[in-house]
Structure 1
Amino acid sequence: MEVCRVLGLISGTSVDAIDAALAELRLTGDVIELAPGGHTEVGYPPDLRDELLAAGSCNPEQMCRLDTRIGQSFANAAATAIRELGQADVIASLGQTVYHWVEDGICRGTLQLGQPAWIAEKTGLPVISDLRARDVAAGGHGAPLAGLFDRLWLQDDVALNIGGIANITLPSDNFDRVGTFPGTRALSDGSERARGHMRNADERARAGYDSGARNQATDDDGSRNQATDNSGGRNQATGDTDPRNRAAFDTGPHNQATDNSDLHNRAMGNTGPHNQATGNTGPRNRAAFDTGPGNALLDAAAEMLTGQRFDKGGALALAGTVRKDLLDLLLEDPYYRLPAPKSTGKEHFNIGYLKAALAQVPEVTGPDLMATLVELTAVTIADACAGHRVVASGGGVRNPALMAALARHLDIVTSDALGIPSDAKEAYLTALLGFLTWHGIAADPRTGADGPRLLGSITPGRDPLRMPAPATTTVRQLRVVATLGGSLARS
């Protein structure tokens, strides 16, 4: 098969920027080779970001305006990426998730904005968009879609993406052994697991960050886990903590779901000569789901304390001490004990949720609050990862405090060490999803859908739509290469 250049576009729950990555992809037998072609990011206009953060209360007029303005912003990002990185054959856009509707553990719908016609008009290229809806219609959660990338790319490692919500992709042998996922039983009593992880909370909260190859991290606007100063105590206001008020954004990435325990061990085979599937008929089938908050509560706390969108360099968290009473309270959230499939998002883990928790404990200083939230993210991720090496990506890897906490609980590396930039992985995931659809290959990200589906809708570009002949083989592996035909970054 000829090389196909796909530009992937996505904006995660931080709503700070649109990530774009250009990938060269080629299907050879049952292996997709992916050569990273570079990545960039283009920020949203500040007023548009503010509107997006308030999108939950939009009326139809405001929703229409947002869909148009986000589409225009994505079009601008695509044009910028093509100018900087080179021409593409097709564009894939995951858009901007503004709502993810989950009730009683079932995803009922999902809404991504960013009208693809603006992208097609600006670039002249065909655009594949709305990549989550078909998975939801087939019974899945539509998130995290990263499980597809991870299942094909990694072998025995657990893949972790830390966006606003953290999600992982597990090897299925761990999924099978526990029945739901490792963290379900470990957290079933609420705080006991936290006590086990808090052998020395004060030391951990103040611990430094190992910048060696095993624990790489840099600054990431996707993480936005940065703040400056402590403005002191807690805000007593409360929010909606109804456990049914949950949803997921994938982030970067981002973008965020699970595999149905009845489906997770099923081999994915051909669905017809012109509609092949991604799969793995061996023992390495994997399941993907949201573990809980990644950066969501950290960012909310940073903005509440300092007016900044993130805790710069994790400085505030590193200066604090874990408050066990608050951590134990937060770990009582029913979400951590739900079985898979499940997904969550900022509809649940938000500033109102945090303020409600703070109102139930004695006053918490800013640094201690940040240190406790870092530990919450680290503990809930570690509980789900079952002792395997973890390959991390997403904005959270650029928060030194969070990476230090994770390194104390896990054997962790970043995806950079394996050839995929950690701050661009979800954009490369989007490119992969576009490649699959463009070539007639059904995808199953193991979020609970009833089998593989062709994902997305296609908006033609300037020229008549000429798609390649559908693939006739089942895809079983993704191989990241330095260049197509060149040396492998990871076999």
Structure 2
Amino acid sequence: MTALKPHYYLGLMSGTSMDAVDAALVCFEPEFKLIATHNIEISDQLKQQITLLADNSNISVNSLAQIDLELGLLFAQACKQLINKYDISYEEIVAIGSHGQTIRHYPERGFTWQIGDPNIIAEKTGITTVADFRRRDLAAGGEGAPLVPAFHASVFRSSQVNRVIANLGGIANITILPKDNTLPVTGFDTGPANSLCDLWIKKHLDQAFDQAGSWAAKGNIDTSLLNLLLSDKYFLQPPPKSTGRELFNLNWLEQHLQKIPNILPVDVQTTLVELTAISLTQAIKSHGFKAGELYLCGGGAFNEQLTCRIKQHLDSYQVTTTEKLGLNPAWVEAAAFAWLAKQTLAHLPGNLPSVTNASGARILGAIYPGTVI
């Protein structure tokens, strides 16, 4: 009997929060299915080094090369740990799709930059690796982000109901999925999701993140601060648009806080959650549907304070998580980059021009062939 051809794809994601590398193994035939998951923490030392690279305009080439190498090794380790943990054959995996770690995203200047050497991933795992997905879209005049809407459209779109998918990572983005398939899928980054909250709680409580939004739930919304934050021109800018820590960072927040004396740290945290909830829901009201279904994914989907505020502001929508659609919200982004790798190898587009504003559909990513183990 002829052996079945390999049919698994493995997606890697390391986001703005830089807390861990997520690895998701998926298959697409006969239908999409999440097979196995694993994550591996990014050490505090490596996280600090990445932060210095991302936030410092004067980059040391030696430091950049070293961290590129270290991240490549870490991504490869995440893959191998997942494969060994679930006793999966390496030969069954067609390809790895690696997002990499973003250290720069300036679409207005025409560039974005993700590191984590894919040569290392391919060499250490022996599996063909696809990476550097964003820059081809930028070369075609697009934003290079968000890229997940094409995956959302592939696995979450319904012909019966209008849906919005909200990805709440470090940055929040939405995908608008009309039930009418003659209408285009649209989407964009709405602003910060977890990034500012994570930075603030790290500064004041030395915690990596606000578990379930419990700290934010103890404070009060400061309307003066909220209005100041919402006055940023990014929120008023029409899509297509994308953003990152280049704009929404601790320095951005503290510049606004200088105008609000004697505000309690816990009230800042509560206000930051409200900032995410309002900027997200206003974007949905302005560019989505009057009513429909909203599915949350990403780390923010587990923040009870945030999800409560989103529901409060969007009562015309049924709000839940992508778990109801069969995909755990923690693994949607990693699964998306597995799908993007599949698209690349099939010579199919991975971007949506209606989302990124690229001049056309493009096959994304560079391919690093695997080796025989």
Q: TM-score, normalised by structure 1?
A: 0.68
Q: 2:23 aligns with which of 20, 25, 35?
A: 20
User: Aligned equivalents of 1:362 and 1:37: distance in 2?
Assistant: 51
**Equivalences, count:** 349
1:413 aligns with 2:312: no
Q: Which amino acid aligns with 2:293?
A: R
Percent sequence identity is 36
- 1:8-407 superposed matches below 5 A: 8-26=11-29, 33-56=31-54, 57=56, 58-85=59-86, 86-87=88-89, 88-103=93-108, 108-152=110-154, 153-155=156-158, 156-171=162-177, 282-386=181-285, 387=290, 388-407=292-311
Q: 3-state SS of the aligned residue for 2:207? A: coil
- Alignment deviations for residues 140-172 of structure 1 (CA, whole Å, 9 cap, x no partner): 111111110122232320010001110001246
Tell whether the 8 Å contact from 2:351 to 2:364 is kept in structure 1 after alignment.
Answer: no
Q: 3-state SS of the aligned residue for 2:130? A: strand
Return the offset for 1:309.
2.0
Cα RMSD of the aligned pairs, angstroms, is: 1.8
Structure 1: stretches of 5+ with no match in the other structure: 174-279, 465-491
Tell whether the 8 Å contact from 1:6 to 1:90 is kept in structure 2 after alignment.
Answer: yes
Q: Which has the higher helix share?
A: 2
User: Aligned equivalents of 2:362 and 2:257: distance in 1?
Assistant: 43
Tell whether the 8 Å contact from 1:102 to 1:108 is kept in structure 2 after alignment.
Answer: yes
Q: 1:437 aligns with which of 331, 335, 344?
A: 344
- Alignment deviations for residues 421-464 of structure 1 (CA, whole Å, 9 cap, x no partner): 10000011011001111111122233111111111111111149
1:453 aligns with 2:352: no
More contact order relative to length (CA 8 Å, sep ≥ 6):
1
Return the offset for 1:38.
1.7
User: Aligned equivalents of 1:302 and 1:296: distance in 2?
Assistant: 10
- More divergent stretch after superposition (363-372 vs 61-70): 363-372
User: Aligned equivalents of 1:414 and 1:82: distance in 2?
Assistant: 27
Q: 3-state SS of the aligned residue for 1:168? A: strand
Q: 3-state SS of the aligned residue for 1:42? A: strand
Q: 3-state SS of the aligned residue for 2:151? A: helix
User: Aligned equivalents of 2:306 and 2:169: distance in 1?
Assistant: 12
User: Aligned equivalents of 2:178 and 2:229: distance in 1?
Assistant: 28
1:4 aligns with 2:7: yes
Structure 2: stretches of 5+ with no match in the other structure: none
Return the offset for 1:315.
1.8
Tell whether the 8 Å contact from 2:11 to 2:337 is kept in structure 1 after alignment.
Answer: yes
User: Aligned equivalents of 2:321 and 2:68: distance in 1?
Assistant: 34
Q: 3-state SS of the aligned residue for 1:6? A: strand
User: Aligned equivalents of 1:53 and 1:443: distance in 2?
Assistant: 28
User: Aligned equivalents of 2:177 and 2:211: distance in 1?
Assistant: 34
Cα gap change, 1:374 to 1:11, in 2 (>3 Å): same
User: Aligned equivalents of 1:372 and 1:330: distance in 2?
Assistant: 9
- Alignment deviations for residues 20-70 of structure 1 (CA, whole Å, 9 cap, x no partner): 0001123x7xxxx21111211011222111101111322111110011000
Return the offset for 1:123.
1.0
Q: Which amino acid aligns with 2:152?
A: D
User: Aligned equivalents of 1:323 and 1:306: distance in 2?
Assistant: 20
- Alignment deviations for residues 203-222 of structure 1 (CA, whole Å, 9 cap, x no partner): xxxxxxxxxxxxxxxxxxxx
Aligned to 1:186: none
Return the offset for 1:2.
6.2
User: Aligned equivalents of 1:24 and 1:405: distance in 2?
Assistant: 35
User: Aligned equivalents of 1:34 and 1:140: distance in 2?
Assistant: 28
Structure number with greater Rg is 1
